Amino acid sequence: MSLTEEIAAAAARRVVDDGLEYGAAKRRALKDLGRHSVRSAELPSNEQVEDQVREHIALFHADTQPAELHALRQLALRWMERLAPLRPHVSGAVWRGTATRLSAVHLDLYCDDAKSAEIELLNQGIDYDVISAPRAAGGEPVEVLALASRCDALGETVTIFLSVQDHDDLRGALKPDARGRSWRGDAAALRRRLAEDTP
């Protein structure tokens, strides 16, 4: 097994068993493997980590993960319907099908301006926090709105992260990955995935 594959497998365990996001899981995987740093070429891509996540789920969580994913997709859809004026798109593990009960729900909001999302939340009486999150491609951190929502099907409170994007970024955001799979979907696309789920 190559170092890249080792890192991907170790990161996948952290994603599934600890609920870490991919970037944090890769950093933690390096520590788990006793490595302080590696060349960037040796770091696995998110797709490579996701492949290992799918394998880990199939081996250790095949009996529970489909129902957990279904519950989180239902929760995501409820929030997307509630935030419909902000053009929400679900992304992350809930969209890609690798979410477990430890996963957060990620919604990208495509607004005419950043403040409109906060105004919509305030108008609906929704409590939220503004947090700073690393930008996927590096650079300055971005502000993300975070809120907590009860998921009765899981019997737990789930974190919902709302990333406010410029409306003009939507077209580029819908481009598929290298394997032709989309990174996010709107409410109609999520409804189709829910109909296909077999919890």
Structure tokens at 99: 């979410």
Model's pTM, two decimal places?
A: 0.91
| pLDDT at residue number 167 | 75
How far CA 54 is from CA of 66, 77, 143, 173, in Å, comes to: 12, 23, 29, 23
Cβ burial 108-145 (10 Å sphere, 16+ → b, else e): bbbbeeeeebbebbeeeebebeeeeeeeeeeeeeeebb
With a cut of 50, which residues of the chain have pLDDT below it?
Answer: none
Structure tokens at 86: 């902000």
Spatial CA neighbour of 137 closest among 169, 113, 167: 169
- H helix intervals, the chain: 3-18, 22-32, 46-60, 65-82, 92-96, 115-123, 170-173, 187-196
For 19-60, give the secondary structure using H, E and C: CCCHHHHHHHHHHHCCCCCCCHHHCCCHHHHHHHHHHHHHHH
Which structural domains are found in the chain, ordered by start? 3-60 (no CATH), 65-196 (3.30.460.10)
Summarised one tens digit per residue, pLDDT across range 59-116 is 999 999 999 999 999 999 999 999 999 999 999 999 999 999 999 999 999 987 778 8
